[in-house]
Copies of this chain bind each other. A is one copy, B any other.
Amino acid sequence: MNPKASARAAAIAGHLSMRNASSEVKDTSILGLGNPMASMAVERSKASFPIRELTYFLDGGKEMTAVKERIMTELERDPVFQNVDFYDLTKEQLRERTMSKIARLIHYITSEREEISHLRLSLVGLIDMSLLTRTGVHYALFFGSLRGSASPKQFSYWISQGAAEMKGMVGCFCMTELGHGSNVAGLETTATFDERTDEFIIHTPHTAATKWWIGGAAHTATHTVCFARLIVKGKDYGVKSFVVPLRDPKTYDLKPGVSIGDIGKKMGRDGIDNGWVQFSYVRIPRQFMLMKHSKVDRHGNVTQPPLEQLAYGALVVGRVSMVADSAQMSKRFVTIALRYAAVRRQFTSKKGEVETKILDYALHQRRLLPLLAQTFAMQFSSDEMSAMHRALTRKIDSTDPGDRTAMAIVIEELKEVFTTSAGLKAFTTWACAQTIDQTRQACGGHGYSAYSGFGQAYNDWVVQCTWEGDNNILALSAGRGLVQRYLEVQRGTKAPPQTEYLNNLARLKSAQAGSRQIDSVAVLSEAWEAVAAAVVSKAGESFIALRKKGLTADEAFEETSQQRFLAARIHTQCFLVLKFFDRISSSGPQIQPVLTDLSYLYAIWSIENDAGLFLQAEFFTSKQIDEIRELCNLYCRKVREQAVPITDAFNLSDFFINSAIGRYDGNVYENYFTQVKRQNPSKPQAPYFENVIKPFVHRAAEVEVDGEELDEDEP
């Protein structure tokens, strides 16, 4: 026995004391991290309000909560929807899985009321954004186009073909082209009327006119609604929509003249089989043109509708639901980060003591709690937006298109909904992207693990900022609406409620906080209205000045684009603040205090972010801006106390949260370790050990060629 081995043997005898020494160390160190589950329990015990009340308030009543919970249970228990391995799926697996889920969802979609289906789909969107979109491609885009643009007879025909049930046919939506996205009017695919055969010839004239990003096209769609330029007798009537069969629904063989390929890997949403589509002189019956609005008869006579704007009303639906999704998704991620912050401890001022919860650090509160408050603001504005949209839809349906006066009012309201939804869609989808990113960073290194849920969600989410109206383009369009509204007000027309502040320009111009208490609904509302009024006025006045200089309206709009963008941003911010305050007034007394704190935090934090504008508008003094920074800290501390109970009120189960570090019980280290081990079972060696690692690590010394040996002998 060598000396070391014998010493070791002796050490075995002393093993018990060794273990004791080690477990002593263990106890001291465990103390540092505290007990995460106990830490979480402490947070819950602080609740100053009935959590269930807040849930009902957010859901829109006890009954709605019950419906939501039923749907959540159905999804959670369904084996097809199990998502424990979600973050490890490849693109191919995601696509197959998504389709299996659609096949499962169809039972509910075809058998329940539309509002319930919407609720179900919005919950589905929380756990799988690709699934929501891929279902939406058929129902919202394809079927929605039929409903909005087909004549009644055409609509019945497509229903009879299975369009309502995805039976015998699956639809997609060929709008975007490689070369044209935002500029829909510039699309280049052609639909040329051939009077001899009573057909349209659908054709892709060149590569950049290839239909692109078409969800469902690569694998699943049998039919599409295709946007193409209507050409009759050599005349271009602009872009209309046509149903084009793509594949034989039995064999899935491509129809003659149709070329389809896979768009391949994307930043996210890999569960959607986006494809590209080219048409080479594809013939469809004339009757496949959707003719609710524009019509072409047997002899090539074209009739165009007087109010084509109504055809675009359908675009608003997508925006409205993206605002709702922004609130919904934010709930999920602020919940994860706040739960983690409530149990994660790091650093202590006194050695040997339990370390401090990261939620107790002032900066950490600053990073997360305004995002929590923003989540409420987004939900309440979304509720308001949905109500506006429902009211408008009812009005459109009940107004006689022949009644010009009534229709003018409807069109005016449609414009307002367009502007408001454009701004809200842009700034809430951005806010949600920022929320996912910031909450991830607030979870430090562990936020980077796929199993915490942030990475996948961020990648899946951010397409919301560029699709269905790129956010910048939408913001500019909202800004254009605001400038136009300003001009109308200057001409004496009263502004509608959404821009009420434009009716009070004179008062707001000289408004100041003065000696009033800043954290009050009166001052905070007026502050936002004053700044919105100032920014919109400035854009409007610049526009007027440029027009006077001789610029065309288009030129003047372009020249003021930065100001329009700012106007849209501040207007939307103002809308979010005001709707938050409005909504609180209808809350019960038990939850009103916590909602009030959240609303003040939101309004104050937003002022701080745009301090320059409030100083320029002279609503606050420089000293008051300092005070606002302090108030922001103060309301962070207040909200911090209720942070976990508030997120509990969002009522999202672990299945919907789907994060190893954001589970309800707070047992973060064990949950996370378990998840990592389950998804990555130990293997003795890497799959490429024999091929790559071994030859590399065991490589022999490189033979150094000694050039001198090869030298010719010199004399």
Tally of A interface residues using CB under 8 Å = 168
Are B30 and A362 in touch, CB under 8 angstroms? Answer: no
Q: Which chain B residue has the least Cβ–Cβ distance from A273?
A: B686
CA distance A209 to B618 in the complex (A): 54
Are A669 and B207 in touch, CB under 8 angstroms? Answer: yes
Interfacial chain B residues near A194, Cβ < 8 Å: 11, 18
Partner of A196, one of B11, B456, B692: B11
Are A30 and B206 in touch, CB under 8 angstroms? Answer: yes
Q: Which chain B residue has the least Cβ–Cβ distance from A674?
A: B207
CA distance A169 to B18 in the complex (A): 31
A74 CB within 8 Å of chain B? no
A231 CB within 8 Å of chain B? yes
Question: Which one of A264, A470, A476, A614 has the greatest number of beta carbons of chain B within 10 Å?
Answer: A264
Are A558 and B669 in touch, CB under 8 angstroms? Answer: no
Minimum CB–CB distance from A447 to chain B (whole Å) comes to 7
Interfacial chain B residues near A197, Cβ < 8 Å: 4, 7-8, 10-11
9 pairs of A and B residues whose beta carbons are closest in the complex: A267-B455, A611-B612, A265-B450, A219-B686, A26-B205, A612-B612, A29-B188, A262-B680, A96-B688
Partner of A32, one of B100, B186, B219: B186
Interfacial chain B residues near A686, Cβ < 8 Å: 95-96, 218-220, 273
Question: Which one of A180, A203, A692 has the greatest number of beta carbons of chain B within 10 Å?
Answer: A692
What are 28 inter-chain pairs, A to B, with CB distance below 8 A? Answer: A4-B199, A7-B196, A18-B201, A18-B281, A22-B205, A29-B209, A87-B265, A96-B686, A182-B347, A186-B355, A218-B686, A222-B697, A250-B698, A252-B684, A262-B680, A265-B679, A266-B449, A362-B561, A363-B472, A440-B462, A445-B470, A448-B467, A455-B459, A459-B459, A612-B612, A615-B622, A616-B626, A618-B622
A554 CB within 8 Å of chain B? yes
Are B261 and A677 in touch, CB under 8 angstroms? Answer: yes
Q: Which chain B residue has the least Cβ–Cβ distance from A683?
A: B262
Given A265-B88, A349-B554, A466-B444, answer yes or no on A366-B196 (Cβ-Cβ < 8 Å): no
Are A444 and B459 in touch, CB under 8 angstroms? Answer: no
- Contact string against B for A residues 73-110, beta-carbon threshold 8 Å, 1 for contact and 0 otherwise: 00000000000000110101001100110110011000
A405 CB within 8 Å of chain B? no
Are B362 and A169 in touch, CB under 8 angstroms? Answer: no
Q: Which chain B residue has the least Cβ–Cβ distance from A190?
A: B25
Are B693 and A252 in touch, CB under 8 angstroms? Answer: yes
Q: Which chain B residue has the least Cβ–Cβ distance from A688?
A: B96
Minimum CB–CB distance from A358 to chain B (whole Å) comes to 9
CA distance A306 to B283 in the complex (A): 86
A33 CB within 8 Å of chain B? yes
- Contact string against B for A residues 1-38, beta-carbon threshold 8 Å, 1 for contact and 0 otherwise: 00010011011001000100111111011101100000
- Contact string against B for A residues 441-465, beta-carbon threshold 8 Å, 1 for contact and 0 otherwise: 1001101111100111011001101
CA distance A470 to B102 in the complex (A): 41
Interfacial chain B residues near A455, Cβ < 8 Å: 266-268, 459
Interfacial chain B residues near A266, Cβ < 8 Å: 448-450, 455
A236 CB within 8 Å of chain B? yes
Are B25 and A693 in touch, CB under 8 angstroms? Answer: no
* Chain A stretch 368-411: residues in CB contact (< 8 A) with chain B: none
CA distance A167 to B273 in the complex (A): 45
Minimum CB–CB distance from A681 to chain B (whole Å) comes to 8
Are A448 and B472 in touch, CB under 8 angstroms? Answer: no
A213 CB within 8 Å of chain B? yes
Minimum CB–CB distance from A627 to chain B (whole Å) comes to 12
Are A25 and B196 in touch, CB under 8 angstroms? Answer: no
Minimum CB–CB distance from A372 to chain B (whole Å) comes to 17
Interfacial chain B residues near A363, Cβ < 8 Å: 472, 476, 561-562, 565
